[in-house]
Amino acid sequence: MSYQPPYTITPLILQRVADIVELLTRWAVSDDGDLSPQLRRNNRIRTIQASLAIENNTLSIEQVTAVLNGKPVLGLPREIQEVRNAFAAYEQMPRWQAYSATDLLTAHSLLMAGLVDDAGCFRSGGVGIYNDRSLVHMAPPAGRVSGLIEDLLTWLASAPVHPLIASCVFHYEFEFIHPFADGNGRMGRLWQTLILSRWQPLLAYLPVESVIRTRQDAYYQALADADRLADSTPFIEFMLQALQDAMKEVLLKTSGKTSGKTSGKILALLRENPLSTIPELALSIGVTERSVERNLKKLQDENRLSRIGPAKGGHWEVLK
């Protein structure tokens, strides 16, 4: 019988999947559905800084940005190297298959280059995870790592569940196996992003790590709860909430920025031609008619714009 990771699909998990899909739909049809290069880079920087901060890297967002811009940064050489490695790894994601062991090892080689001697190789010794001096998780013996990862990747290639759930299951199982001597946390988060990006490309630039960073204790507690139950359900529920909250944050930021830009363009066009129609405005600005309608209503609610006369045959009056 093929390997099946233990988990339970609860009503809470189903609800969170539905909520995330709804948010994704809103993101896809928004003006920023196709992220600008600058927004992609900003989100990538947030992802890298947060994922490394979880592993005790002390560099700030500003310092990480400076490193990636080739500017000198006052920081530990190892931490600067971690930033460069992480950026290189995330940039290579489009070339990798989530279920490929070769690609997994290549990713680890990039992520840990110059930081460990065995970058790109599964661990050869036992490893335990400690909280202070207390053992909280003893990973499987090194001799079993290759087979366990092969089983997990084989399951992932045809996982009988929604990709959102499959990505969370993989993340937990990967951390349980702990296949590398170092870098397992950042690799697990990177690989979950890869899995999700194969389902929805927008998710390659979702900085969920920044949400995890603010809930780091809850993240480790969810891993511990899953360990205790020998079932990844608690971790799935935690990660889906983190994904949902990260998407809400991105939507809030992009909609606010976009709304302001679009509203300003609409007002400028209507000052020139108060008879402009919604399709004409949409074409002139380069956004959807739905976006124009949404911004027109917002401008009216703010008493910055008024409609004079009927929907057909009337005109717009810019108030301020």
- Residues marked as catalytic: 178
Of the candidates 197, 199, 193, the residue with the CA atom closest to the CA atom of residue 162: 199
What does 206-272 look like in DSSP terms, one character per residue?
--HHHHHHHTHHHHHHHHHHHHHHTSSHHHHHHHHHHHHHHHHHHHHHHHHHHHHHHHHHHHHHHHH
The response to whether 286 counts as a known ligand-binding position is no
The response to whether 189 counts as a known ligand-binding position is yes
The response to whether 186 counts as a known ligand-binding position is yes
CB 108 within 8 A of CB 191: no
Rounded-to-integer distance, Cα 18 and Cα 129, Å: 34
Phi-psi region of 268 (alpha: psi -120 to 50; beta: other; left: phi over 0): alpha
The response to whether 85 counts as a known ligand-binding position is no
CB 62 within 8 A of CB 69: no
CB 274 within 8 A of CB 315: yes
The response to whether 187 counts as a known ligand-binding position is yes
User: H or E segment at 138?
Assistant: strand 134-138
The response to whether 130 counts as a known ligand-binding position is no
Rounded-to-integer distance, Cα 126 and Cα 60, Å: 33
Pairing of strands 134-138, 128-131: antiparallel
219 CB-side CA count, 13 A: 21
Which residues are documented as binding site?
A: 182-189, 219-220
Which residues are documented as binding site for ATP?
A: 182-189, 219-220
